[in-house]
Amino acid sequence: MRRQVPVALILALALAACGSTDSAGADPGEDAAGQGTGGSPTADAGAGGALAGGTTGDAAPQPGGEPTADAGPPLPDLAPAPGDPCPAACARLSTCITETCGGASADFTAAADAACAHECGANPSLALQVADAADCAGVVALAGTSIGAPLVDGCPTGSDAFVHHAVCDVFGERFSTCVVERCANAAEYASTFTPAYARFCDNSINGGDFTEGQLNALISPNTPCNSPVLGGVLDSATAEDGAIRAFCDNGPAVDLQTCLDACDTVAPCLTQDTGYGIAQDPAVCAFVCLATNTLPAGVWACGAALPNDATCDTSLACLDPNAVPDGPLPECEVVAARVTACTLEQCPGIASVTEGHTLAARGACNDAIHGAPDTRPQYQAVTPDTPCDDPAMAAYVAAYVSGPDARICQDGPVNDLETVCRPACAVVAPCLPPEGDLAALRDLAACEYYCAQGPDQVPAEAWGCFIAAQSCPDAFACVQ
C-alpha cells in the first residue's frame, strides 16, 4: 500500500536549484512537486502533512502497579552464519546490475548491494529467490520489488535516473558553502549538505529538467552565492516556510548520530512506493533527518533504536503511525528511559529501582500504542533530549508520581530492596506464568520495583513468606 508521506518539500529544493533561471530552461513559477525526479512519487508536503505535525500530545501512559511483559528485542548476532547464502546472492545482484543496467553508477550499485545485504540478512529465503532467478533480468526485477533496492520501474528503464554528474559535485560544494553564509547553524554540517544537494542536482538532470551542459554554464567553484541559480534555491530553502528555516533558527531537531543510525536501518527500505525514494541515498536521508522537519524527531529516534537485523516492515513502521507491528516497539525504549530519568528528578526514592521502573514504563508505552495506534506519534515525538517540563513528558511523569510511585516518592521503597524484595523475588519470580498479566514480573528488576511499591494486591507479610518458600506451591500459598 502506498504511504502518503511528504517529500515535495525536499524535491522542490532540487528543482529550484536548477529551475530558478530562464537559461536553465525551467519555469521558476512551476510547481516542483513530483517533477524531474526520475519517476519518484511524491505526496502533499505542506506544513500540515500527515507526519509533519503532532510532535507532542497530552495523552500519557496509564501505568498500573504491575509492569507489562516486554523483554525487548534480543541483541543481533552480527557474525555471519556458516554457509550464509546472502553474500553470494548479493554478489549476483551487483553483477546483474552492472550487466543489465547500462549507465548505473557505482554509488547506485553500492546502494543496491547494501539494500540486498540488509533485507537478505533479515529474510535469508531471499537468497533462494535470487538463486532461482533464470537470468539477470529476473534478478534485477526481484531486486526492484523485494529488497528495497533503489530501482525505478525496473532497471532497464530506470537506471539512468541514478547516473551521477560531475557538475553536481560542484553544485553541492558551492551550495553548502553558500548555506553557511546564510545559515550559521549549517557550518558544522556542511559535509551533510554537500552530498545531499549533489544528489538533488543529479536527480533533476536525470529527470530532464535541464542538461548537464546548461548547469555547467551556470555553476563553477566561484559562482557568487547571490547568483540566480544559487540565490534562488537559498531564498526558497531559508524563507519563512522554507525547508531549512527552522534548522537555521534553532539548529537540528535531531542530533547527527541519531540521524546516521536511523538512516543505516531505514534508508535501504525507502523504495519509491514509500514516497521517500530519494532518501534511500544515505546522504539525502541524513539531510532530511538533520535539517528539515519533514518527519517528527521521534520517527528518527524510532529508526535509530531498531536492531541491525530489523526487517523493512519493522523499519517502515517507524514512518507510519497507523502501522503498528506486534511486539516491543523501538520508540518505547526511548520513552521509557526518558520517563524514568524525569521521574527520578521529582522522586529520588526510585533511585534503587530505576531498571525495573524503566521496564514498567516501556511496557506501559507498548500497551498504550497497541491499544490506541493513533497515539503513536505522541510517543515517537519523545527523544533522549526531551525536556522534563515538556507538557507530554510532564504528563507521563505525573502518571507515575501520583500512581504506582506515590508511596516510594513519599517515603522511599515500602519494602527494603536488599532484605525483602531481592530475596523474595529470587524465589517467586521464576514461579510466575510466562504469559498473562504477571509475566513481566518474571524479570527480577521488574519484580523488585513492584515489591518496592508496596502494592495493595500483595499483603506486606507475603514478601517475607516468599523468602521462606521452598517451592512454587509454597510461594503461591503465601497469597492465598
The predicted-structure confidence for 306-329, as pLDDT tens digits, reads as follows 887 788 888 888 876 566 777 788
Asked if 280 contacts 270 with a C-beta cutoff of 8 angstroms, the reply is yes
pLDDT band at 299 (very low <50, low <70, confident <90, very high): confident
Residue 415 has pLDDT above 70, yes or no: yes
Residue 458 has pLDDT above 50, yes or no: yes
Asked if 409 contacts 350 with a C-beta cutoff of 8 angstroms, the reply is yes
Average pLDDT over residues 252-274: 84
Residue 227 has pLDDT above 70, yes or no: yes
pLDDT band at 163 (very low <50, low <70, confident <90, very high): low
pLDDT of residue 381: 86
Residue 344 has pLDDT above 90, yes or no: yes
What the block records as the C-alpha cell of 376 is 503513536
216 membership: H or E segment, kind and range: helix 212-218
pLDDT of residue 159: 39
Residue 339 has pLDDT above 90, yes or no: yes
CA atoms of 426 and 442, how far apart (whole Å): 9
pLDDT band at 13 (very low <50, low <70, confident <90, very high): very low
Question: For the chain, what percent of residues have pLDDT higher than 90?
Answer: 18
CA atoms of 194 and 179, how far apart (whole Å): 10
How far does the chain reach from its first CA to its final CA, in angstroms? Answer: 52
pTM for this model (two decimals): 0.46
Q: What is the CA radius of gyration of the chain?
A: 26
Cα 109 to the chain's mean position, in Å? 24
Which range, of 104-108, 284-288, 390-394, averages the lowest pLDDT? 104-108
Which range, of 128-137, 219-228, 454-463, averages the lowest pLDDT? 128-137
Residue 147 has pLDDT above 90, yes or no: no
Stronger pLDDT, 351 or 38, i.e. the higher one: 351
Question: For the chain, what percent of residues have pLDDT higher than 70?
Answer: 74
- Report the alpha-carbon angle 30-34-35, nearest 5: 55
Average pLDDT over residues 172-198: 90
Residue 278 has pLDDT above 50, yes or no: yes
pLDDT of residue 149: 47
Mean predicted lDDT score pLDDT of the chain? 74
pLDDT of residue 310: 82
**How many other C-beta atoms are found inside a 10 Å radius of the C-beta of residue 327?**
12
Which range, of 202-216, 219-233, 256-270, averages the lowest pLDDT? 202-216
Stronger pLDDT, 378 or 107, i.e. the higher one: 378
pLDDT band at 103 (very low <50, low <70, confident <90, very high): low
